[in-house]
Each structure stands twice: as C-alpha cells, then as structure tokens.
Amino acid sequence: MPQPIRTAIVGAAGRMGRQLIQATLEHPGSQLVAAVARPGNAAIGMDAGALAGVEACGVEIVPDLEAALSAADVDAVIDFTLPEALSGNLGVCRKAGVPMVIGTTGLSAEQKAELDGAAAELPIVFAANYSAGITLSLKLLDMAARALGDDFDVEVIEAHHRHKIDAPSGTALRMGEVLAGALGRDLSDCAVFGREGRTGERDRKTIGFETIRGGDVVGEHTVMFLGLGERMEITHRASSRMTFARGAVRAANWLVAQSAGLYDMEDVLGLR
C-alpha cells in the first residue's frame, strides 16, 4: 500500500481547522503529523484530535509553523488562516519546499501576486471553495453565461453565518470572475455591490452582488440569470463545513504528485 500523505494543518484551532483535523484523521490516505495555531491561543498544547472532538491522535497543537515543519516530515500544508497570516506561512513553506493547499479568502492584489510568486517554486492549490459541488457550479456558470450572453442580467446572492468577516464571500467573487470572463467583461469594472436609493435603470453590463450574514448558515450561493419572460437560477447550498474540509484533504493528496504551479479544484477534480 502507498504511504499516507503526511499533512500539517495551519489554523488548527479555528472552526475550519477543527474540521480539517477530523477530515485528515478520517481519510485513509492521510496522516496528521502537525497542527499549528496562533501563538497565545488557548488550544496550544492540546491534542489535535481531542480538540476536534474525535479521539486523541498524539499530535500536539503548536504555535510555530517553521518549528513544526522542522520537527515532522511533512508532505503538504493545509492553510485556512486569515489573509494577514498568509505571507508568513508562504515564506516558511517556500523555504522548506512543502506544497500548500490554501483556503484563505479576502486576499489583496498584492497577496495574490505573492501567491503567484510562490507557485513558481511550489505546487499550490488555491481555491475560494473546496466543495466538489461549487467546483462543478463554476463550470455550469461559465456554460450558462456563454450561452445566454448579454440578453440576460446576472445577479450573485450569497449567505453565510454571522461570524464571517469578509463580504462578498470569496466564492461569490470567484463566481463573478467566471461570469465576467465568459461574458468578456472585467469584474473590477462591472461589479455592483449592493444597491440603495435612486439607483436608476440597471446597466445591462453589470454583475450584481448581494450579501446576507446571519445565524449559522454554512454557505449558500445563487446566481440568477434574468431575461425577459424567463429566469434561470444555479444554486449551491452547503450544510456542513466537512464538505470543504474533505475537499481540501483530497486536494492535498492530489497535490503532492504535481510539479510547481498554481492549481485549483477544477484541476484536482480533473475538470480542465
């Protein structure tokens, strides 16, 4: 049998981090060998499995990624931290030569450029959403936008739990990028984020975004194509964060066999 992929998780104490721990421990082809949380986090020193609500696994939560990579033989790092932590984590992984799966959203243009630079040296999977259903939805959106063209208005509506700190979601923005590309537009020029007051008649070339935040909604995204006399909607609803965690673990297992480059879930699922 092939050796399991030795995986380190950064942001292990967060909501997604705990799901990633569980998904890694449950995956037959993965082995959790390191788990990292921010210095000062109350989870430091705890067993990662116990923190995630499953059986103790013998992996202690530590506060330093570089030290964790030095102490363990790591094949891949899964990073679902905040944007401000990404630069440091990229630097550590570049130095150690360890591939990365990155699920951090809300990146600036400078951070995306830094990601591109790191991908010249490392294999990296970067996706706004690691759900197989969302990945397929992006393909369907591209097909629909190309077929319907400028005859249909396009609106993106997304809903997430009250704790989410960025808006619109990274997934919604990725949907917007796919739609704009299929329609021959630049999203930075045509995106409209919310409407209020006397906005005037809708510009046919815009792509609208609406954001909902509340409760414990894991993630819902709907794209509406609105024409004269008909409307089409493509919707994805996630009911558990484990959907994203399992997708990220799948991506890590796929990534270790790849050469340096920047990949996404379409590559992981063979949809290119």
Concatenated DSSP letters of 114-147: HHHHHHTTSEEEE-S---HHHHHHHHHHHHHHHH
Answer yes or no: are the C-beta atoms of 99 and 76 closer than 8 Å.
yes
Q: Which of 120, 92, 115, 114 is nearest to 102 (CA)?
A: 115
What distance in Å separates the CA atoms of residue 263 and residue 94, rounded to the nearest whole number? 16
Determine which one of 27, 112, 139, 160 is catalytic. 160
64: number of Cβ within 10 Å: 14
Contacts of 135 (CB under 8 A, 6+ apart): 127, 129, 264, 265, 266, 268, 269, 271
Active site residue 112: no
94 contact partners, CB below 8 Å, separation of at least 6: 118, 121, 122
Point out the catalytic residue in the list 95, 161, 163, 164: 164
* 160 included as an active-site residue: yes
Which amino acid is located at 233 in the chain? E
Residues serving a catalytic function are 160, 164
